[in-house]
A and B are shown apart, each in its own frame.
Chain A
Amino acid sequence: MKAAPFAYVRPPTLDDVLAELAGGDGKVLAGGQSLVPVLAMRLGRPATLVDVTAVPELGEHGPDGRSGYRVGASVRQRVVEHDPAAQDVPLVSMAMPFVGHRELRSRGTVCGSLAHADPAAELPAVACCLDAQVEVAGPGGTRTVAAQEFVTGAMSTTAGPEDVVTAVTFPTAGPGDGFGFAEIARRHGDFALAGVVCRVHVTEAGAVDAAALTGFGISDRAVTRDVTALLAAGESEDDLRPATTELAAAIVDTGGDTHGSTGYRRRLFAVLAARELSRALHRAREGRTTR
């Protein structure tokens, strides 16, 4: 399990990073927790690895000043996990312990997880559910893309081979927000067989005025639906189950494998979705935003 030879560079500025990527035969190296296994198994043989960790501004993280929490490209998952300010994005805190293992989160980055876009990964699902904004720099300048448009399929994004994801901004929670997160994996730390992320917002009177549900591990990417109307069915898990079962049939299309059939994944999704939506709604009404 040794990687094929590659050149390595750790440029000092973003411009230098972009210059190294120009031509398209380089790959960004962030935490390496997904890229290095690919290299070790020789599934990929990039000519050059461009390590982004020496660029000072890519290491920034914290409130962005506009009710968002912004995370730069070289910020490691574990730093966010232990950052008190990240608690203002409860879904990130809820999902983070499920991203691989502690030993991987010490190196893996939040932006790397988005850029890698594994269909069963937690953080892209959280980003999609919250409508997080992904900043991308490339030869044609910089642009900001909504997470749902950023991910275009399994391990595919709108970031091209000459682009770098520079940061992602998650909206912080406000009054009336409630959240839910759950996944089923064969073992803790494995990618999920199926998982759900949801957010519910209620008015001061307690009426649902916005709700979104994202499933992951169930299709070629995280799939997000507006479920504001669905919550009219009621508040309890049982009330919501028929609607989530119907939704599962519509969006869960991952083919069966040794770990579970498509039908099994649909059941997982329907059960988890009903449960987490019900919880999120209760939390929103109680003014609680975390578990």
Chain B
Amino acid sequence: MTAVPDSPARRDTGSRRVPAPAARIAAHESAEVTFTVNGTETTVEVSPRMHLGDVLRERLGLTGTHLGCEHGVCGMCTVLLDGEAARACLLFAVQCEGAEIVTVEGLGTPDDQHPLQQAFSAHHALQCGFCTPGMLMSSYDLLANAPEAAAENLPEAMSGVLCRCTGYRGILAAVSDVAESYPDGVPEPRGCAPRMLVGRTSPGAGTAAEEAGTAAPQLTEVRLPTGPPSAVVDVTSQLASPVDRVWGVLTDFDLLARCLPGAQLVESYDEDRHRGRATVALGPVKLSFEGLAQVVERDPDAHRLRFHGQGRDTGGSATAADVVLHASPTADGGTELSAHADVHLSGRVAQFGRALAGDVSRRLFEQFAAGVDEAAETGSVSEVPLGRRLRLAAGAARDAAIGAVRRTAHRLRDRARRGSTG
């Protein structure tokens, strides 16, 4: 073999951007870093030593990326960075300015799974599921960028992620199944539509505020996420009051807010925008939201009201909802009140999971409808003690709540420890 004809040296820009320079960030300071996660640009404020895995999980609520060893050996934390698999635990977030990151949440959604996810399910390629996100992201990278390596020696090509329970046969079968089904290349990730990713903007401010119980960051505009909702709520309630009185409540935002247990109108602005506050108590969990709602449709003839709401709590959780309320007269002179809501959750509350989020939202709506009925009849709503506002019998709710509390306790402990060691 002979040397190739000389040509000018190339820059390493293939699939990869050359990062812009970054000014020095002192060890105990933090700086803003902007990158794209699953199609959505996001900015986080981080100290130099915070790795990408922690940012995804703790700041952005994307807990699909797992952390096992945190020193590069196990592969649990594998994500796509600028289209190639990389260990999120071996990357500091400050290195990721301008990067394009895809996590398992971006690979596919529960309703629209990526073929790899479907194949893992079909081939029983998971047991406890701890390694699954890493396996999925690694296998996506393999089939997208190095299919020849997959064909040559799949076990070696997939050796970068460990599984401690299923064994590798199902995993390898799933990956080779997808490789065979898509000879021209594995389909693109499916869950990368822009969506809401509202993290804790500043670690210092967020946690201090959380501990001091001070107000959440103020929202000034309502932006509705465009990705698939975390939960869809469809509830209908039968009210005794006639439809005109019910509509009267729906158009009085102050009264309407008070119909929602724990909610309170703080201020109204032009363009039918209203600032409010809401508290949700779930067993030992208590979340306090500051939010903004904007009425986007008000149809007195059809008795239809549509609004967008968005709220944030001090701990970095965020909710947003697109709500349609519709009142229609019934034969017995009463009203049927129906609500349809697309609910989007991120941050800590997202850890509750879809089913629970749906349950909680449904339960809240039932209490809301009872409040509307009372207001339509009496012109006001009686105060309900906080403790009784929302009681959930479901065991799942309790378990999730306990889990969330444990996690919070953990964080507080960590923080205390960090504080004491300087």
Contacts and interface: CB of A to CB of B under 8 A. Distances in A.
A188 B26 CA distance: 39
Given A36-B90, A102-B157, A103-B141, A8 B11 contact: no
Contacts of B5: 63
Interface string B7-41: 11111111010111111111110000000000000
A6 to B, nearest CB: 5
A275 interface: no
Interface string A14-42: 00000010000000010011001101110
Contacts of A33: 72, 87, 90
B12 A106 contact: no
Contacts of B1: 88, 90, 173-175, 177, 289
A214 interface: no
A78 B83 CA distance: 12
B47 A174 contact: no
Nearest to B92: A8
Interface residues of B, number: 59
Contacts of A54: 18-22
Interface string A59-74: 1111111010010101
A227 to B, nearest CB: 22
Contacts of B9: 60-64, 70, 72
Contacts of A48: 24
A177 B1 CA distance: 8
Contact of A107 (B21, B86, B141): B86
B11 A37 contact: no
B6 A1 contact: no
B89 A10 contact: no
Contacts of A6: 27, 48-49
Which of A10, A88, A188 is most buried by chain B, counting CB atoms within 10 A of its CB?
A10
A60 B2 contact: no
A40 B53 CA distance: 13
Contacts, number: 184
A49 interface: yes
Nearest to B94: A8
Nearest to A287: B1
A104 B12 contact: no
A32 B90 contact: yes
Interface residues of A, number: 65
Contacts of B49: 2-6, 39
B156 interface: yes
Interface string A240-251: 000000000000
Contact of A53 (B19, B47, B70, B138): B19
Given A53-B18, A101-B160, A189-B160, A7 B24 contact: yes
A169 B71 CA distance: 30
Interface in B158-192: 159-161
A60 B28 CA distance: 34
A40 B89 contact: yes
Given A7-B27, A56-B18, A2 B6 contact: no
B85 interface: yes
Nearest to B14: A79
Nearest to A187: B159
Contacts of B51: 2-3, 36
Contacts of B156: 97, 188-189
B142 A40 contact: no
A289 B160 CA distance: 29
A85 interface: yes
B149 interface: yes
B3 interface: yes
B71 A37 contact: yes
A175 B95 CA distance: 43
Contact of B69 (A1, A7, A63, A187): A1
Contacts of B25: 7-9
A192 B143 CA distance: 27
Contacts of B78: 103
Given A103-B160, A107-B90, A5 B71 contact: no
Contact of B27 (A5, A29, A189): A5
Interface in A216-249: none
Contacts of B22: 8-10, 51, 54
Interface centre among A61, A78, A88, A106 (most CB of B within 10 A): A106
A106 B155 CA distance: 19
A174 B4 CA distance: 10
A82 interface: yes
A130 interface: no
B308 to A, nearest CB: 39
Given A9-B22, A85-B4, A56 B11 contact: yes
Contacts of A74: 12
Contacts of A40: 70-72, 89
Interface in B86-144: 86-87, 89-92, 94-95, 138, 141-142
A102 B142 contact: yes
Contact of B6 (A3, A65, A173, A188): A65
A44 interface: no
Chain A CB within 10 Å — which of B16, B78, B91 has the most? B16
B81 interface: yes
A52 B90 CA distance: 16
Contacts of A11: 21
B2 A10 contact: no
A17 B21 CA distance: 11
A47 interface: yes
A60 B11 contact: yes
A172 B81 contact: no
Nearest to B67: A1
B85 A102 contact: yes
Contacts of A62: 7-10
B84 A106 contact: yes
A79 B27 contact: no
Interface of A: 1-12, 20, 29, 32-33, 36-37, 39-41, 47-49, 51, 53-54, 56, 59-65, 67, 70, 72, 74-76, 78-79, 82-83, 85, 88, 90, 97, 100-104, 106-107, 172-175, 177, 187-189, 289
8 contacts: A10-B19, A36-B72, A56-B11, A59-B11, A60-B10, A64-B6, A76-B16, A104-B72
Given A10-B94, A64-B6, A189-B159, 7 more contacts: A62-B7, A62-B10, A72-B9, A78-B84, A83-B10, A104-B72, A175-B1
